[in-house]
Amino acid sequence: MPDFPVARFHALKDGEGRIVHAGDLEVALFRDGDRVYALGNTCLHTGGALGEGFVIDGCAVCPWHGWQYDLASGRRRPGIGDLGVPTYATRVEADEVVVTVPDDAMGS
């Protein structure tokens, strides 16, 4: 599973999203306090860019029509079956945010 350094933690605004690239994959990055989360960038409603959204109560909020996704699980809130966006592991190393993407999410 490849790792991608995508941002400086200190440059992320608390509660705001940002679109980053992990290889060819668009990722929505969110800082919530001292934690950082990485979700798939495409909203399941009509394709809004989640990374242009913001955080409320532990959820990423799509800027287009307000759909919300749990930052940790990617599940839509309120839940609709198993509907959700992918999530990716993150870690911070010496202020660098690193996103780990499974091989099967990288495409061919």
The residue behind tokens 């992320």 is: 12
Query: Is the CA virtual torsion 14, 7, 99, 84 positive or negative?
Result: positive
Token readout for 94 is 């010496």
64 binds ligand FES per the rule CB under 6 A: yes
8 binds ligand FES per the rule CB under 6 A: no
- Cβ-contact 105, 29 below 8 angstroms: no
Q: From 27-35, 46-54, 71-79, 83-91, give the range in contact with ligand FES by CB under 6 A.
A: 46-54
Please report how close the Cβ of residue 65 comes to ligand FES at its closest, in angstroms: 3
Site residues, ligand FES (CB under 6 A) = 43, 45-48, 62, 64-67
